[in-house]
Amino acid sequence: MALKALDIYKLLPKKNCKECGDPTCLTFAMKLAGGKADIELCPYLSDEAKSVLGASTRPPIRLVKIGVGTRNFKVGEETVLYRHEKTFYHPTGIVFRVMDTMTSEEIIAVTKRVRDETLTRVGADLRFNGIAIENVSGSAETFARAVETVEKVEAHLPPVLISKDTAALKAALVHCGTYRPLLHAATLENVKEMCALAKQHGCPLVVRSDSLDGLVQLVKTCTAEGVPDLVLDLAPDSLGEFILRSTAIRELAITRAVPDLGYPVYLNAAQTGQQDAAVAVGIVKYGSVIVTDPLPVGAAKAALTLRQNIYTDPQKPIQMNPGIYRVGSPDKDSPVLMTVNFSLTFFTLQGYLESARVPCFMLIVDTEGLSVLTAVAAGKLSEMLVRDSIKKFGLENEVSHRKLIIPGYASPLSGRIEDATGWKVLVGPRDAAEIGEYLHEEWKK
């Protein structure tokens, strides 16, 4: 059962030494209560206090850091089953796989692609996260050479090393052992040797079993051996098995019913025989590290976009800066379309305006990120706001006419906007998809 901040505070040393990184013991206690800090950060805790606090203050799913440097990524520390309950915090790391049987040219090309490829959407740069190198050759030497090839590109991407053979992993770690690679995978057969390697290099480790029981056993062994940073490979035979086990693990972890399942989940999409679908399912169903062969352009963009959607904080509407935006090269006679600063509304309208090929101005007013419908209902979109925005952004200097097109859903305000601004108001369509037709037919009149 979770403890309240004050209960936790009573067990802390109350020295306010700041060594945990927090200014006071009380603020540290508040973080612990929210599952946002690790009890180990306090150097002065008695063993008794540790045992009381340990299990109930640790985040229900451990945060695991993979890689070092600017491209490292963190997964885990999730607290909910549904994104609408709060939010999902740490986006799925999507890692491209190379095999050690590929030529060095091929390996270098994939590494460079992950290093360079960026999709910019809604003001964010979306990227793939790392390189997985799989030991398909069966030779430790070949595997190590492939890892060396990746590292020589100096892309500084988080590595995932995949091999059943600890000798091969050992040889590969010579080239990337200090970069916090993720090792795949400890099984009941090799868990002791894997732990020794992970411990020696301070790496996170994947444990693999097709039963929850097996995963729990492996987790217990690894933590006892001093390897705390673990990731769970559920070894699914189908997407259905993945959904079932991944959901079970998320549920059992966040309710703290089975704390030993409180680790991020791994999925090898390349092994499923339907990679694109596995990537999609992995993103929405709690996959934290997804290994896939390099995705073709369509799947690559769809995957990055879906991940951005799912990991967007549902508590915060994404907002645009209010102001005047141009579509094409508008002139003094071009139409002006007013809408709200909810980014989705903005980008949707902008997209349709671009395809309509009518140069125009967009007047974006500040509704604090609310959509048209909600802003009208909540009174955030008013004639005063429109009047003030026209003045503030100097719309009068941009066009010689005085006509303003407003969204269909804002039609109840049309009369009041005309009175407050002196501009003639034209009510546009409700659906942005019809704006092209509207402009071609109505504006020309």
Partner 1 sequence: MQYEMNFGWTSPIGEVLLGATKNDGGTRRVSYRIGGGSTLPFLEDMSTTPAPLIAFEVCDNPAFWSPIIRDYCGDLVTSVSEWAKKADTDYRADLIRLHLTSTKQRNFSDIASLGPVVESVLSATSLPLIIEGSNEPKIDSEVYQKCGEAGQGERLLLGTAEAGKYRSIAAAALAYNHSIIAQSPIDINLAKQLNILLKEIGVQRDHIVIDPYTGALGYGFEYSFSAMERIRFSALKGDTDLAMPMICSAADTLSIKEVREAGPGQQDELAIQWELFTCLAAAAAGAEILCVRHPGTLAPLRKALAGMKQKAHTAGVH
Choices 54-62, 158-166, 329-337, 344-352 (CB under 8 A): range interacting with partner 1: 344-352
Q: Which of 19, 40, 141, 241 binds partner 1 (CB under 8 A)?
A: 241
How many residues are recorded in the chain? 445
- In the numeric block, the tokens 């703290």 are attached to 256
Examine residue 445 and tell whether it contacts partner 1 (CB under 8 A): no
Examine residue 113 and tell whether it contacts partner 1 (CB under 8 A): no
Examine residue 239 and tell whether it contacts partner 1 (CB under 8 A): yes
Nearer to partner 1, 49 or 302 (CB): 302
Distance CA 176, CA 266 (A): 21
Examine residue 245 and tell whether it contacts partner 1 (CB under 8 A): yes
Choices 46-54, 221-229, 250-258, 400-408 (CB under 8 A): range interacting with partner 1: 250-258
Choices 58-66, 110-118, 211-219, 223-231 (CB under 8 A): range interacting with partner 1: 211-219
Shortest approach of partner 1 to residue 352 CB, angstroms?
8
Mapping DSSP onto H, E and C, the string for 372-420 reads: HHHHHHCCCCCHHHHHHHHHHCCHHHHCCCCEEEECHHHHHHHHHHHHH
Beta-strand pair 93-99/130-134: parallel
Examine residue 308 and tell whether it contacts partner 1 (CB under 8 A): yes
Is the alpha carbon torsion for 240, 245, 246, 247 positive or negative?
Answer: positive
Choices 12-20, 33-41, 103-111, 209-217 (CB under 8 A): range interacting with partner 1: 209-217
- Angle 308-205-292 from CA coordinates, rounded to 5°: 45
Identify the CA nearest to 182 among candidates 140, 117, 233: 233
Examine residue 296 and tell whether it contacts partner 1 (CB under 8 A): yes
Examine residue 305 and tell whether it contacts partner 1 (CB under 8 A): yes
Examine residue 376 and tell whether it contacts partner 1 (CB under 8 A): no
Examine residue 347 and tell whether it contacts partner 1 (CB under 8 A): yes
Take residue 282 and report the two structure tokens written for it. 């992995």
Choices 78-86, 93-101, 190-198, 223-231 (CB under 8 A): range interacting with partner 1: 78-86
Q: Which of 118, 178, 255, 321 binds partner 1 (CB under 8 A)?
A: 255
Q: How many residues bind partner 1 (CB under 8 A)?
A: 54
Examine residue 40 and tell whether it contacts partner 1 (CB under 8 A): no
Examine residue 283 and tell whether it contacts partner 1 (CB under 8 A): yes
Q: Which of 47, 82, 315, 329 binds partner 1 (CB under 8 A)?
A: 82
Packing angle between helix 25-33 and helix 47-57, nearest 10 degrees? 40
User: What x/- string results for residues 401 through 440 when contact with partner 1 is judged by CB under 8 A?
Assistant: --------------------------------x-------
Cα dihedral 143, 144, 145, 148 in deg (nearest 10) = 130
Burial of 244 (0-12, 13-18, 19+ CB in 10 A): middle
Q: Is 319 in contact with 345 (CB distance < 8 Å)?
A: no
- Angle 3-4-7 from CA coordinates, rounded to 5°: 85
Examine residue 400 and tell whether it contacts partner 1 (CB under 8 A): no
Nearer to partner 1, 409 or 423 (CB): 409
Nearer to partner 1, 252 or 405 (CB): 252
Mapping DSSP onto H, E and C, the string for 197-257 reads: HHHHHCCCEEEECCCHHHHHHHHHHHHHCCCCCEEEECCCCCHHHHHHHHHHHHHHHHCCC
Shortest approach of partner 1 to residue 102 CB, angstroms?
24
What is the enclosing helix (H) or strand (E) of 27?
Answer: helix 25-33
Residue 207: beta bridge partners?
A: 186, 232
Choices 70-78, 100-108, 188-196, 308-316 (CB under 8 A): range interacting with partner 1: 308-316
- In the numeric block, the tokens 């996170």 are attached to 204
Enumerate the H helices of 317-394 as residue ranges: 343-356, 372-377, 383-392
Report whether the peptide linkage leading into residue 185 is cis, meaning its omega lies within 30 degrees of zero: yes
Nearer to partner 1, 2 or 257 (CB): 257
Take residue 197 and report the two structure tokens written for it. 């390697």
Nearer to partner 1, 136 or 302 (CB): 302
Choices 137-145, 160-168, 279-287, 411-419 (CB under 8 A): range interacting with partner 1: 279-287
Shortest approach of partner 1 to residue 96 CB, angstroms?
17
Nearer to partner 1, 143 or 409 (CB): 409
Shortest approach of partner 1 to residue 369 CB, angstroms?
13
Examine residue 274 and tell whether it contacts partner 1 (CB under 8 A): yes
Distance CA 207, CA 381 (A): 53
Binding stretches for partner 1 (CB under 8 A)? 82-84, 121-122, 211-213, 238-241, 243-245, 247-248, 251-252, 255, 257-258, 272, 274, 276-277, 280-281, 283-285, 296-299, 301-303, 305-306, 308-310, 312, 314, 344, 347-348, 351-352, 354-355, 373, 433
